[in-house]
Amino acid sequence: MEVFVNEQSGQRAGKWIGRYTIELLFGAALGISLAALCLMYGRKRRNRLKSKTSEIKPDLNMERYIFDIATSNGIKQAIVESSGECYSVSLENAFLGTMWQDPAHGMQWKTEDQPLQEHLWDISAALSEAFSRNGFPAILKGAYPEIIHTGWKTSETLEITLNPDTDLEVFSTFLQDEVMNLVDFDEHLDLVVKKKDDAYFKIIAVN
């Protein structure tokens, strides 16, 4: 089968291309420039996100727990940090002393510091369930200083309140990626993440 090209149509097309060559070249250059700008913006945005997430990245190799314990003066916040074979304990930023497990007495918790003595049972009980679902808030608060409060809404729903200056989108994205590195239980848990005095929230499902 033979194919015939309309000579007149070909001449018109050639004239049109010749007339608008500059415009076509300019349009192509503009398109390439816009694509390059989009690529640069995407890279900068990813770098900013990476920079922000690196600022909130916790030291997962460091044992640090924050418990709420009952005292004679009401509920106080106890901070327990690992320091080798011992744990240092502070109550509302006041250092109480160190505690450790004694292998000669069935790994019972011991301390030689009198200020810590009256709180030893409560703290050791909290440590014993730190890796359960009920104890998970202590791990979260210990790993992320951005968390200022946690509260149970149901047995499977934990509300996490962040410092107002925290970027919720960045924090929740990073937490979703890293949370399973902190989890040592099999039960399901929903984390409702929000900033203080802000109704907007993100939900992160665990297990």
Tokens of 47: 């770098």
Q: Please state, rounded to an integer, the average pLDDT across all residues of the chain.
A: 80
Q: What would the mean pLDDT of 174-188 be, rounded to a whole number?
A: 93
Is residue 48 pLDDT above 80, yes or no? no
Residue 173 clears pLDDT 80, i.e. is over it = yes
Distance CA 67, CA 107 (A): 21
Query: Cα(201)–Cα(21) distance, rounded to whole angstroms?
Result: 54
pLDDT-based confidence at residue 25 (cuts at 50, 70, 90): low
> Residue 22: what pLDDT?
59
Q: Provide the pLDDT for residue 169.
A: 95
Count of Cβ atoms closer than 10 Å to residue 189 Cβ? 17
Helices 168-178 and 21-56 meet at what angle, rounded to 10? 70
